């Protein structure tokens, strides 16, 4: 669920951010900004994958990481983000159907052996993001849309579960069932957080602070993991006992949150 939640979080503000910038800066500057942002994310992902290959971390021979997936998904979504939500919904569903047909008949072996589905798999990650932007527009409609948002998320999840009887739920294949289940659960998780914050006064400031520097924290977490991985001691990483894993995760999360508050206090932000 980590990747679907990440994609959903991007989709949650994509359309709103795009139209706000479009209103103030015009079409050329807006499209240039978003195109540059996702091309930069794609390029940074390629650089990280190249480093992983250089140190022997990548053994598949296919350099394709999560940042490349996000970059390609963002570029694909940019092409349709100005369309009304109903058209984005139809385009997203059309991609799901077309992707699954091509995957099952032609590209299954290549895709399943590529990290995150590789270049072809990015097509269905893009479908998830496009569908996520349409679902987000519903949430941002403070009238009827927000009221039915959790139910639509539940409907998407139910459709994904039903489809799982025909298609495996696989992140490696980026199957349609995986996309729908991931999107549906993400919507329900967000609905729960929103409910707790809106009606039960849950303090979610830590989530807000993290959201302001999400990309920076993603890069920082790589550095923290590297402290454990690069020494090449299996008992610190791949063969770590449960108690050590819990300790490492606790220290890592505490460190990331500490950095988050420091960045916020200094009014620093790494954003594209």
pLDDT tens digit string along 84-98? 999 999 999 999 999
Residues 156 and 259 in one domain: no
Residue 214, number of CB atoms within 10 A of its CB: 14
Residues 76 and 118 in one domain: yes
Within 8 A by CB and 6+ apart from 235, the residues are 241, 244
CA distance 65 to 119: 10
Question: What tokens does 17 get?
Answer: 């951010």
Residue 177's H or E segment, with its range, is helix 176-199
Residue with tokens 């799901």: 96
Question: What tokens does 26 get?
Answer: 């015009």
Residue 63 has pLDDT above 80, yes or no: no
How far does the chain reach from its first CA to its final CA, in angstroms?
24
Angle at 214 between CA 209 and CA 217, to 5 degrees: 100
Residue where a domain terminates, one of 160, 175, 200: 200
Residues 234 and 134 in one domain: no
In our burial notation (b when 16+ CB lie closer than 10 A, e otherwise), range 168-179 reads: ebebbbbbbbbb
| Average pLDDT score over residue span 60-69 | 74
| Average pLDDT score over residue span 140-157 | 90
Residues 54 and 150 in one domain: yes
Q: How far is CA 266 from the centre of its chain?
A: 27
- pTM attached to this predicted model: 0.86
Residues 17 and 145 in one domain: yes
Domain total of the chain:
2
Percentage of residues in the chain having pLDDT higher than 70: 95
Residues 63 and 145 in one domain: yes
| CA neighbours closer than 13 Å in the CB half-sphere of residue 130 | 29
CA distance 178 to 127: 12
Residues 18-43 have pLDDT tens digits of 999 999 999 999 999 999 999 998 98
Residue where a domain terminates, one of 200, 219, 238: 200
Residues 138 and 266 in one domain: no
Residue 201 has pLDDT above 80, yes or no: no
Residue 271's H or E segment, with its range, is none
Residues 180 and 263 in one domain: no
Residues 209-240 have pLDDT tens digits of 888 888 888 888 888 888 888 788 888 888 88
Residues 219 and 195 in one domain: no
Residue with tokens 């995760």: 249
Residues 25 and 124 in one domain: yes
* Average pLDDT over the chain, rounded to an integer: 88
Residue where a domain terminates, one of 170, 200, 230: 200
Which pLDDT score, from 0 to 100, does residue 177 have?
Answer: 96
Question: What tokens does 49 get?
Answer: 């994958």
Residue 106 has pLDDT above 70, yes or no: yes
Within 8 A by CB and 6+ apart from 22, the residues are 30, 82
Residues 171 and 260 in one domain: no
Closest CA to 13 of 132, 178, 147, 171: 132
Residues 154 and 48 in one domain: yes
Print the domain residue range for 48. Answer: 2-200
């Amino acid at each position: 669920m980590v990747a679907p939640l990440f994609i959903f979080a991007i989709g949650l503000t994509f359309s709103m951010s795009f139209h706000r910038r479009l209103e103030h800066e015009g079409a050329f500057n807006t499209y240039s900004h978003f195109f540059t942002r996702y091309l930069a994310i794609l390029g940074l992902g390629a650089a990280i994958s190249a480093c992983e290959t250089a140190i022997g971390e990548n053994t598949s021979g296919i350099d394709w990481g999560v940042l490349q997936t996000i970059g390609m998904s963002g570029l694909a979504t940019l092409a349709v983000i100005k369309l009304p939500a109903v058209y984005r919904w139809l385009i997203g569903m059309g991609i799901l159907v077309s992707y699954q047909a091509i995957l099952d008949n032609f590209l299954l072996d290549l895709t399943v052996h590529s990290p995150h589905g590789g270049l072809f798999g990015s097509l269905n990650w893009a479908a998830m993001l496009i569908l996520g932007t349409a679902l987000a527009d519903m949430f941002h409609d403070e009238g009827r849309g927000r009221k039915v948002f959790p139910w639509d998320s539940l409907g998407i999840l139910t459709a994904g579960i039903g489809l799982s009887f025909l298609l495996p739920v696989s992140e490696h294949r980026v199957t349609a069932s995986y996309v729908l289940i991931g999107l549906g659960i993400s919507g329900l998780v967000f609905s729960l957080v929103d409910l707790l914050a809106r009606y039960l006064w849950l303090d979610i400031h830590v989530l807000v602070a993290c959201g302001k520097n999400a990309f920076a924290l993603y890069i920082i977490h790589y550095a923290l993991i590297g402290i454990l991985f690069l020494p090449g001691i299996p008992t610190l990483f791949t063969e770590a006992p449960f108690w050590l894993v819990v300790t490492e995760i606790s220290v890592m999360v505490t460190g990331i949150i500490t950095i988050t508050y420091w960045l916020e206090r200094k009014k620093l932000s790494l954003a594209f």
